[in-house]
Amino acid sequence: MFPLVLLSCSLLTFTGTVNAQDLGVPLTWREFSNSRLLAERISIAKAAIDTILPQLDTSDAQFNGIGYWQSGNVFSAMANFDHLAGTNTYETQVVNGLNTAFSLYSNFDQFGYNDDAMWWATAAYYGYRAYGNQNLLSMAIATWNHVSQYVVSAADASSGSQPNKNFAIAGSCYGETMAGGVFWRPTADDTGINSITTGLYVTLSAFLAETTGDATYTNAAILSAKWIQNLQINANGIVLDSVDGADCTRSAASWLFTYNSGKYLEGLSVLKDVTGDSAWTDLMTNIAAAAIKSSAWEGSNGIITEGASPSSNNDGVGFKAIFIRGLDEVSVRSSDNSALQILIHSYNDVQYNALLELAANGTSYSSSWPGPPQGFTTWGQLAALDVMVTAINTNSP
Ligand SMILES: *[C@@H]1O[C@H](CO)[C@@H](O)[C@H](O)[C@H]1NC(C)=O
């Protein structure tokens, strides 16, 4: 169905060194600072969340106008608001919403997608982080156990078979082992493996490793992080989309989406702290610098143009929110690299100022961050939430 292009492994040699990337802020960026004080940034983020909340249907924890994985990400933004603002403003909505979805859909999997399950499990982890709620942590762990059944283990890669798949799997592709890749869907005959499912698994594993100290999670995070490192980073340092788990067919080289790099970056930032291995820090730094400056999704003014869709929702609308959230986790965990922190908060400020000055209509925001403003859409609001929330902890005071 999709145009698929085979890449030779010679294109996939990006491993980089710590000084390979320029961490300077491009002077062509539009308004890369802001002077709004903390209380105002919290107030702007809260107003953005309060503007989407009327769309919540508490009977199924879904927001009218957006899809299942996107609704999970609204709960993530609410939990992260409270985490960063040090409040409990949305605890009831987050706890109730996650409980509702988990009881309706086994392991948070509504339609048979491992990435959907992990978007919600990640929201549950953020809820645990914000509120200390052990029940939310249990949901995240249960979902991790469920999805772990669809990871290619080293033994699977050697044998060419996977216990929950009914076809011969590719044990290696482009000269690299497929161990660590996570199947997109649990369906026995579905062959897709992609970076977002695997990146979500890296991130959830690393968070659970950090929280529990259990090496099972650490080892899982490392195996899957290596899969992306070895197979899924292009010559420019950007994370690619997918590889077929049966015949190694790759997504088109032009399939570059912010969230693939963003989710992997979030996972690497936690993994480097869990392991203390500076190789992960170097990889994280290089991908962050490359992705922040990529012409794949922005022009010289730095405003992200991906997923601008004024009149209808689509999956791509929500990608950039995941990128901004991942970068914020990188920043929080990079106190030893002020140049990287400055680059990230400058980039976030470009998006923040664009939303507030070019795309805002009252407290609602267009999915087109360069503007123009329009009437409220649930998807445009969703996409803006992570920018508003992460702005709480960038800059000072
Ligand atoms: C702002 O939103 C309102 C309410 O949805 C809408 O009627 C109006 O047209 C919007 N303004 C602009 C400039 O798009």
| Per-residue pLDDT tens over the stretch 252-278 | 999 999 999 999 999 999 999 999 999
Task: Give the model confidence (pLDDT) of 337-353 as tens digits.
Answer: 999 999 999 999 999 99
Tokens of 187: 């369906």
Residue 313 reports pLDDT greater than 80: yes
- Establish if 21 belongs to a structural domain: no
Q: What's the pLDDT at 258?
A: 98
Nearest CA to ligand 1 atom 12: 374
- Establish if 8 belongs to a structural domain: no
Confidence band of 19 (pLDDT split at 50, 70, 90): very low
- Establish if 23 belongs to a structural domain: no
Q: What is the mean pLDDT of residues 157-164?
A: 98
Q: Which helix (H) or strand (E) holds 140?
A: helix 134-147
Q: What is the mean pLDDT of residues 68-87?
A: 98
Tell me if 102 sits within 8 A of 139, measured CB to CB: yes
Cis bond upstream, residue 397 (ω within 30): yes
Looking at the fold, whether 67 and 157 belong to one and the same domain comes out as no
Structural domain including 275 reads 150-185+191-296
Q: Is 144 exposed, middle or buried (0-12, 13-18, 19+ CB in 10 A)?
A: buried
Looking at the fold, whether 328 and 377 belong to one and the same domain comes out as yes
In the chain, how many domains are there? 3
DSSP label at residue 255: -
Q: What's the pLDDT at 152?
A: 98
- Establish if 7 belongs to a structural domain: no
Q: State the alpha helices, DSSP H only, in 213-318.
A: 215-231, 258-275, 278-292
For the question of whether the overall pTM of this predicted structure is more than 0.85, the answer is: yes
Looking at the fold, whether 230 and 354 belong to one and the same domain comes out as no
Cis bond upstream, residue 372 (ω within 30): yes
Looking at the fold, whether 78 and 122 belong to one and the same domain comes out as yes
Higher pLDDT, 13 or 383: 383
Q: Ligand 1 centroid to 62 CA: how many Å?
A: 24
Q: What is the mean pLDDT of residues 124-132?
A: 98
Q: Which of the listed residues 250, 274, 296 is the one where a domain comes to its end?
A: 296
Report the alpha-carbon distance of residue 205 to residue 4 in Å, rounded: 30
Q: What's the pLDDT at 14?
A: 45
- Establish if 16 belongs to a structural domain: no
Looking at the fold, whether 111 and 181 belong to one and the same domain comes out as no
CA distances (Å), 200 to each of 58, 109, 207, 303, in order? 26, 14, 11, 25
Q: What's the pLDDT at 397?
A: 56
Tell me if 2 sits within 8 A of 249, measured CB to CB: no
Looking at the fold, whether 124 and 258 belong to one and the same domain comes out as no
Q: Ligand 1 centroid to 362 CA: how many Å?
A: 9
- Establish if 1 belongs to a structural domain: no
Looking at the fold, whether 250 and 287 belong to one and the same domain comes out as yes
Q: Ligand 1 centroid to 47 CA: how many Å?
A: 17
Report the alpha-carbon distance of residue 337 to residue 288 in Å, rounded: 12
Looking at the fold, whether 163 and 270 belong to one and the same domain comes out as yes
Residue 8 reports pLDDT greater than 70: no
Q: State the alpha helices, DSSP H only, in 293-332.
A: 319-332
* Cα 88 to the center of its chain, rounded Å: 24
Q: Which of the listed residues 296, 329, 351 is the one where a domain comes to its end?
A: 296
Looking at the fold, whether 361 and 261 belong to one and the same domain comes out as no
Q: What's the pLDDT at 345?
A: 95
- Establish if 18 belongs to a structural domain: no
Tell me if 378 sits within 8 A of 52, measured CB to CB: yes
- Establish if 316 belongs to a structural domain: yes
Report the alpha-carbon distance of residue 321 to residue 390 in Å, rounded: 10
Q: Which of the listed residues 296, 331, 366 is the one where a domain comes to its end?
A: 296
Shortest-distance atom of ligand 1 to CA 373 = 14
Looking at the fold, whether 179 and 275 belong to one and the same domain comes out as yes
Ligand 1 site residues (CB inside 6 A) read 361, 373-376
Looking at the fold, whether 198 and 255 belong to one and the same domain comes out as yes
